[in-house]
Amino acid sequence: MAQDLCGCSGGNRNHRWLWWRRLPPRRRRRGNAAEVTIVADASSAVSIADRFGALPPLLVADRVERLRAAMFDAELDALLLTAASNIRYLTGFTGSAGVVVVTSDDMVLVTDGRYTEQAADQLSASHAPSRLEITSTAQREAIASTVARAARIGLEADHITWSAQRRYADDWFSGHEIVATTGLVETLRRSKDLAELARMELAAAIADAALAERRSSLLDGLTESEFALALDSAMRRLGASGTSFETIVASGPNGAMPHARPTDRRLQDGDLVVLDFGCIVDGYCSDMTRTVAIGEVDDTCKRMLEVVTAANEAGVRVVGPGVATSEVDAAARAVIAEAGWADSFTHGTGHGVGLDIHEAPRVAATSTDTLSIGDVVTVEPGVYLPAHGGVRMEDSVVVTPDGCRPLTHTTKSPTP
């Protein structure tokens, strides 16, 4: 089917098109981006609980039809899916073992007996147009029968080992042409629908509330590991099923390492503390970074905070449909370069977020991606100076017709 601008298939536009008109109006910026501080009190906890109850169902039938259209364009008769996130996107199945085979007129989820009830329940809940095959010892027969009439079978090149590829090509599918595919499902996953956005917004709200609740304890002399645990526990208590990745709490010199892991170093006066974290709601991730200052920091640290915050805002201002992600990177990078720290911004400006914490599109100088309505991306410039620490400010935003709307709302004030 032809796809409209939000990535929906043409046959289902009445249900999903123009979803952005139901979103809250975009905050118009004058100078600095608008900031909203989340206060974690009893009322906010109730609000989050209410939002869990109001989450719309994730319905996947339309996704399968869009995949079949992509398969037709790629001249594939069948596609074997092995990536867990792609399997979940198309079926709702969350088990750790299984594959999905899609053809022009059939779809089957093959898993083992550990997931008999779970797979049946999740396929039913998602209304996935898929058969279920439970195998006791081997998947081969169930898969082979589904692709028996397929001449060209696609494998997910980014998610399959060399040994598995050889097994499929030389043994299981020896009479078929094997085709390496990249991004067939991932491209469909880029544009988030209302149900997906509801989960991502709730995950972001939980992260906002968790930091608001624990923020003052940054002054209590905790170690990086202790504060990371407190933040993770708060997100869990508020309803998250887990963290999006290992929470980063990097203080003082550790902050100069962009992906430092929490240590037993205690937070102390004069530290910059980088907090990079997020949580998962029904499979969908949130991602946010804030940098706070403990006590009085030196003038260089203050300047780093100002510059990186301005770079974040400059990048967010550029985000919109039809914009090359390299332009977003350039806008953020230019602010840091003007301050004389070009060589200290050592990573890309952002990435897509969804079922995976890092997914398409890439926001980087070398990226050839272009933003579309419904994309959720991060904007996370940083400056890292070993003698002073690091500063990174990251927001997740959803692309809308007139620009973007933030999912993360925690203040960028450096005060704990």
Residue 239 near residue 48, CB atoms below 8 Å: yes
Which phi and psi (to 5°) does residue 8 adopt? Answer: -85, 150
Alpha helices in 135-252, H assignment, sequence order: 140-146, 162-167, 184-190, 194-214, 224-237
State the chain's maximal CA–CA distance in angstroms. Answer: 70
Q: Where are the domains of the chain?
A: 17-37+191-406, 61-189
Equal fold, 17-37+191-406 vs 61-189: no
Distance of alpha carbon 350 from alpha carbon 357, whole angstroms? 11
pLDDT confidence of residue 137 = 62
Kindly report the pTM of this predicted structure: 0.87
Distance of alpha carbon 119 from alpha carbon 94, whole angstroms? 8
CATH of the domain spanning 61-189? 3.40.350.10
CATH topology of domain 17-37+191-406: Creatine Amidinohydrolase (3.90.230)
pLDDT confidence of residue 6 = 34
Tokens representing residue 213 in the block? 């609740």
pLDDT confidence of residue 39 = 37
**Average pLDDT, 10 consecutive residues per value, the chain (416 residues):** 33 35 36 33 60 90 95 97 97 95 95 94 94 80 90 95 90 92 97 97 98 97 98 98 98 98 98 99 98 98 99 99 99 99 98 98 98 99 98 99 98 96
